[in-house]
Structure 1
Amino acid sequence: MYHPRLYGRYYDMGFKYGKLLYEKVNFGVPIISNEKMDFGLKSYQMLREYYPEVIEEIEGFACGIQDRPEVLGAFLLSLGVFDTTGQCSVFACRNKEDVIIGRNYDMRYDFKKFTESSLIAPMDRYAYIGQSDVFIGRSDGINEKGLFIAMSFVNGTKVQPGIGFHFIIRKVLENCSVTQQAIEVVQQANISTACNFLIADRMGELAVVESCPQGSFVRRPGAGEQHLFITNQFQSAEMKAFEAEGVAWSKSAERYQGMETLLGGMDGMDLQKAKAILSDGCVCLDLKKERFGTIWSVVSNLNKGIIERAETKPRMNNYKQDTRLAWWLQKRSRS
């Protein structure tokens, strides 16, 4: 897993990282089909309206790798639309004083070589730690305000040119401090595919936005419940009509039931209990035949600012604490 630290103006962040990858590994934009290119170019124009700042970063990255930003943008915005997408498990739990989150990212094992955990600190925006298997978008993250967001793929009935989840998550992390703000940003997006977004803030506000091209629905904890969790299906009756079959192979229902049982049976929550849930055989995927399973895990105490990550299949003892966000906040306060 790569660990870039990027801060400053959007263009400069993109140029720095693109130039580094170009010089170190001769990185170039993979060739995509005409169908993906057409889809991606239409989506790129929509991204320009939704989040123009990140267009500057794409332009800088493209300059760093000596390519055209439209080609790079089309590639990024066609990801996760036509190809196999992650099958993930995410939960958030609130105690009297703390909010604890846990996230497994499940993907083909050969994607491990593309994974990265980045410190991103755009000028005049919130800084955050975010994980991904693509170099500009994010799949999950925790920002300096203690806001967490993560996605899980849903096999929807429709795809359309629009905003990919990677960029929705970035906009949330860079602009939102509380859950309600994040909900509004997610629902403003003309999203290209079906996804669940689990959102939590340090005040204990938890929500899941079930989102697809046809619409969205917000779920919150029921009466007496202190947690929320997602796998790769919609749970609300309002969204079930927009969900297709095809995720049984990844044990989505079994993972959901596993988290429901484990969370319901625990008295309180802390980081060790969160790790136990993520490494449990009912939740952690290891599909040897498909060469598919959990390739990173993250736990965090949002109130204390503690972030720990396992950069392979999670076990109780293979998490390491990430201190880069605290380092950046101290650095910024001294400048």
Structure 2
Amino acid sequence: MNEIKVDIIQIRGSSYEIGKKISPYYLANPIIEQFKQLTNPSTDHTETKALFSDFAPHLLDELHGLADGLKMSMDDTLTLSSGFNNRKPPALGCTAFVDNSHYIRNYDFGPDLYDHCLSFVAPIKAFGSIGYNLQLIGRHDGVNEKGLAIGLHFVSNKGFQKGLAAWSAIRIALDTCATTEQVIDLFKQLPHAACYNFSVGDAQGHHVVIEATPDIVSIRSSENGINCVNHFQDPTLSTYNRDDVTGSANRYNFLTRLETLGVHQKDLFRLFATPSSPLFYENYDELFGTLHTIAYSFENKHVITALARGQALEVSLEKWFAGEDIKFDKLIGYKK
């Protein structure tokens, strides 16, 4: 077994302070070099700043803090971690289920292309959130202080264009949206670079999958639970799917056959996080291994999360945002 570690970062303060205090976790992190290959040196920094000024101006302050902490210019930091005008991303895999009571999700990829950071942040001028970092300020998934939960699911690079990375879109949503409806409105305005599904649920019981291409945003909803994997369900978007969606369809069909009504959060968590589960993958060398599982209960406002084969961490959202830090600084998991 090989060990996987994630730093747990807990920061309350201004967005500038959050950026500066996160930077030490990346100074010796080899993922920085990976992101330099993903980013585009021809990024228009004026255009990037304008985009963030329109949708999340506080994140420019966080980027300033990162720049100072990393001892980089602001322009280089925008190129490195804004998520705007990146090169085409590699294929990611993810599975989620959302209903009135729960949000549960696996993230599947390779540990060498993983930030290894789980951030708890409470900015002054935005909603606080808990989520796994991607490209420093972005998030794979997370839940905010209003009980909004959201995660990304890569579909394809078909129609790829200059735009915002899915993980930066998720961070903007966590920081600025309290409801699923607000996320829908936001995602209809953002310039999406690639094709992604976004699984979304809120404290009011409104859950949807947002199917977003660079040209079209479609909404898939259900009064009962809704599944989200790595292909579009909207027939008008089928041409954006990858040529082979067998694995994604198998996961979707498995979840569809489950009886989830009344299932406890911890039971759903085990379903996703147990290595023998059809939703758990260990093809890490092919960039398709389960790295983390995250579950949120809209009813008891608790987050449960763990790395692959690791011990679960349970956190009260209300207690953390009331000022009670958790007493752990790392998560540890294992891959074959």
Superposition TM-score tier, normalisation by shorter sequence = 0.7 to 0.9
Rounded Cα–Cα distance in structure 2 between residues aligned with 1:319 and 1:40: 42
Rounded Cα–Cα distance in structure 2 between residues aligned with 1:28 and 1:35: 12
Task: Give me the identity figure in percent.
Answer: 22
Rounded Cα–Cα distance in structure 2 between residues aligned with 1:243 and 1:229: 17
Which runs of 5 or more structure 2 residues have no equivalent in the other structure? 1-5, 326-336
Rounded Cα–Cα distance in structure 1 between residues aligned with 2:216 and 2:309: 34
Aligned match of 2:241 in 228, 240, 243?
A: 243
Aligned match of 1:284 in 266, 280, 285?
A: 280
Structure 1 or 2: larger strand share?
A: 2
Q: CA deviation at 1:81?
A: 4.4
Q: CA deviation at 1:104?
A: 0.1
Mark the CA change 1:159 to 1:48 in structure 2 (over 3 Å): closer, same or farther. farther
Mark the CA change 1:175 to 1:240 in structure 2 (over 3 Å): closer, same or farther. same
Q: Secondary structure at the match of 1:32?
A: helix
Matched, 1:38 2:34: no
Q: Which residue of 1 aligns with 2:329?
A: none
Contact 1:129 1:325 in 2 (8 A): no
Q: Which residue of 1 aligns with 2:315?
A: 322
Mark the CA change 1:226 to 1:68 in structure 2 (over 3 Å): closer, same or farther. same
Matched, 1:100 2:102: yes
For residues 145-179 of structure 1, the C-alpha deviation after alignment (integer angstroms, 9 at most, x for no partner) is 11111111111411112121122111211222221
Mark the CA change 1:81 to 1:228 in structure 2 (over 3 Å): closer, same or farther. farther
Any residues of structure 2 matched to 1:215-226 within 5 Å, and which? 215-221=216-222, 225-226=223-224
- Structure 1 window deviating more from structure 2 (42-51 vs 5-14): it is 42-51
Contact 1:155 1:246 in 2 (8 A): no
Aligned match of 2:264 in 256, 259, 270?
A: 270
Q: CA deviation at 1:64?
A: 0.9
Q: CA deviation at 1:33?
A: 5.4
Any residues of structure 2 matched to 1:144-223 within 5 Å, and which? 144-221=145-222
Mark the CA change 1:43 to 1:193 in structure 2 (over 3 Å): closer, same or farther. farther
Q: CA deviation at 1:7?
A: 2.2
For residues 34-65 of structure 1, the C-alpha deviation after alignment (integer angstroms, 9 at most, x for no partner) is 98222575863434443222122112101111
Contact 2:95 2:229 in 1 (8 A): yes
For residues 234-269 of structure 1, the C-alpha deviation after alignment (integer angstroms, 9 at most, x for no partner) is 011132233332555xx212111111112xx34422
Q: CA deviation at 1:92?
A: 0.6
Rounded Cα–Cα distance in structure 1 between residues aligned with 2:134 and 2:37: 20
Contact 1:87 1:106 in 2 (8 A): yes
Q: Which residue of 1 aligns with 2:92?
A: 86
Matched, 1:260 2:261: no
Rounded Cα–Cα distance in structure 1 between residues aligned with 2:12 and 2:53: 21
Looking at both structures, which has the greater relative contact order when contacts are Cα pairs under 8 Å and sequence separation is at least 6? 2
Rounded Cα–Cα distance in structure 2 between residues aligned with 1:13 and 1:138: 15
Q: Which residue of 1 aligns with 2:9?
A: 4
Rounded Cα–Cα distance in structure 2 between residues aligned with 1:159 and 1:26: 28
Scaled by the length of structure 2, what TM-score is found?
0.84
Contact 2:38 2:89 in 1 (8 A): no
Rounded Cα–Cα distance in structure 1 between residues aligned with 2:298 and 2:38: 43
Task: Quote the RMSD (CA, aligned, Å).
Answer: 2.7
- Paired residues in the alignment total 315
